[in-house]
Structure 1
Amino acid sequence: MATKKTPSPKPAVKPAVKAVKTAQVTTKTAKVSTKTTKVATKSNKTTKAAKPVKAAKAAKPAARELVVLVGTRKGAWILRGDAKRKTWALEGPHFHGHVIQHLVMDPRDGRTLLASAKTGHLGPTIFRSTDFGRTWTEAERPPAFDKAPEGEVGRSVDHTFHLVPGPDDEPGSWYAGTSPQGLFRSDDGGKTWRGLPGVNDNLTMRPWMGTVQDGTPDGPKLHSILIDPRDRKHLYFGMSGGGFHESTDGGQTWQPLLDGMQVVGGFDDKEPTFHDPHCVRLSPGNPDRLWQQNHCGIYRLDRPGTTWQRVGMKMPKKVGDIGFPIVVHPLDDDTAWVFPMDGTDVWPRTAPQGKPAAYVTRNGGRTWQRQDQGFPPEQAWWTIKRQAMTRDDCKRVGLYVGNTQGELWASADEGESWRCIARHLPEIYSVETGWKA
């Protein structure tokens, strides 16, 4: 599919760094202009002033391209969009045959990609590209648990599930969450990884992790690694079947944030270690507000409070507030989207009644509106996994969902209408967006 060459859509927030550079260029050219307009006087005679040198125009920032990154059960794909997000060019597969749990772009340079990969023969690893997917290099030391002392049974990483770029002022830093649950960090752009002892080696964390049998059908996972943009030492993460946790010292120590969350049915509600957050997001417009899609409903937490409020009770009863993903508006912390699934009886994990739809709240969860225009009206028995729904940061926010049937759907009007922009892919595990430099 040909991509029309048109200017890239403007993001909702313009990069401050580029503005600073532009200002510096303008200042320098202004100084040159001032020197050339000085007037020399001698014996009361005025010398004709030299014509001022025109200030050089500030260089325009390089055009950026909106891309959608898709991880699937059998490889990875990249979509490039035109300025109006109407035409998309599909590229791939990368890593054909590999299970790609997560494909993420580093927003700090707009070129670096990290992919979490696994095959039945090669095991789990991380691949890194610094030229936006033209070439890839495998991590020298991917995430791995330390060897257990003699006589003890150790743990081994089945796959890396979740990848997150580190703070803006720590270029090259990344975090990774694994299955079984482990937290890792890289400080060299993903080449080598080390475990965080405050999680991986802390015996008090083990009861929260449970066993493989306690996890989801795809295995227990550490996910939703969040970094407070105001304080890089303020971290959060979620675990399937293991609650939601907070650190204020860069990951050395952790405390659970569970108050208000319902315990999964069938487990002792007095037992604090079994809570099942599916996806947690921090509001970019207000980092003190967190949104959570849980096994037991939709929740919101307003810091410095420590009690989650269940805000999904106003969802239609026939639909419920069970699902995997949740997405938050980049500027409006009252606006969030979810994609419900059937969580009744044996947990079919399909669209309720076979009628897929997103739901949006624009008032902090007090009310919810259905958004299904463009989706199949019936007999569509698919769902969206926890990392397979995301947004862009255009002025009119775009939404993207990848389903278990290998379809990628997009909305350029904040969910009011949807259309399928890619079909016939393998089962989609993750969807992310980025601005390619």
Structure 2
Amino acid sequence: MHRITPYIRAQRWPALAAAALFLLLASCSTPPVPSKERKVYIDRQDARYVLFRDKKPFIIKGAAGFSNFEALHAAGGNTIRTWDTAGLGDVLDRAHASGIAVIAGIPIPLSRSLGFYKDTARVTALYNACHALVNRYKDHPALLMWCLGNEVDFPYRPRFRPFYKTYNRLLEMIHSQDPDHPVTTALINFDRRCIYNIRWKVKGLDLISLNIFGELPNLERDLKNFSWFWNGPFLISEWGINGPWETETTAWGAPIENTSNKKAEQYLQRYTDHMPVDNPRFLGACIFYWGQKQEVTHTWFSLFSENGAASPIVQTMQQIWTGQPPTHKAPPLKYMLLEGKGARDNILLGPGTVNAAEILFDTAVGDSLRVTWEIVPEDWYTRYRGDVNARKPVVLDSLLLSLKGNKTSFRAPAKEGPYRIFATVSDAYGNFVSANTPFYVVAP
């Protein structure tokens, strides 16, 4: 809590503190319970918040992404969370056909984009576009809730008033046009500053959503310690293993990525030990990322390969959501070695030198597995700090010299710089596993 100014005399402190606390709690009171005639609403039953959909309790067993809805349903999931409106109609239709609900993200500029929020014409265009979007899709049977903004940040300073004015206007519009669906926003981690300002300056959010990775083990503690100020319902809108920004790196700063199999173990351990499923405010969670995407590597968060094969993490989520183990387990990949070394050995290679790499398995495997090797430049350059490249770097496949089972030989690139070698192992049941090792080419 903020320290009271020393100019207040000590004997007045108890009365002033009590008054301040009363006003604070009054301004941060829990929103009224919505009408139970709505299609989707959050109710408080005793000490627990419950999300209702079509008058039935609905626990979000979700994923963040835009595709693979049939696989999500087959694994026991029931919700997809998006953060973009591009192709929203198609997403809603495909999700509905697969029995999947949709948390529809409405993207807006970050709060620090003050040039935007001070521009009346651009704000009006945003408002009109959101108004049209909400009215177009508010009656779609797949819609579960709206998410107004993804990681936009909610700052303190008065100069951000144009942002708050626009945000509250959009929020009021969504509620007035679509009273049937709750509205949330997604924060980075458990951010007390943002939660303070949401409670003080934002009127009408039904719940708060959290995008949380490496900080998930601390969430239950944070929720408890901050419950004196905010004790409302929450959704974990993205969760997973540590991101590239919070993991071990090589000497030249390349994040070290675990194998798919090790990541599957980490997902299970993180969910079992740290997901606050017994917290009475918890409405569910969405794993990240239900699809294939480039984020430092094309495998870091991807639960599916480029051709639609499923990683062992999908099998882990099936076990979590249904309690049923997979019929065919993914290949038991253990690790990769490059010239007998691992990623943490900071591997340096000479330009044009011939080198050997291999992958090892925990148990014996048959001949039915298919191994694909790739060499790519490190995804090193971003235009703006905090950006991630959306496209996988060009594969340098001409450097591969020979392939034999779980081994390959390759020629190191001639150009100095950071690279990675990837191995992807596919089986006959639609599963894949992967491993990669970063290395650096050093010119003599």
Name the TM tier (shorter chain). under 0.3
More strand by share: 1
TM-score w.r.t. length of structure 2: 0.23
TM-score w.r.t. length of structure 1: 0.24
- Larger RCO, structures 1/2 (Cα 8 Å, 6+ apart): 2
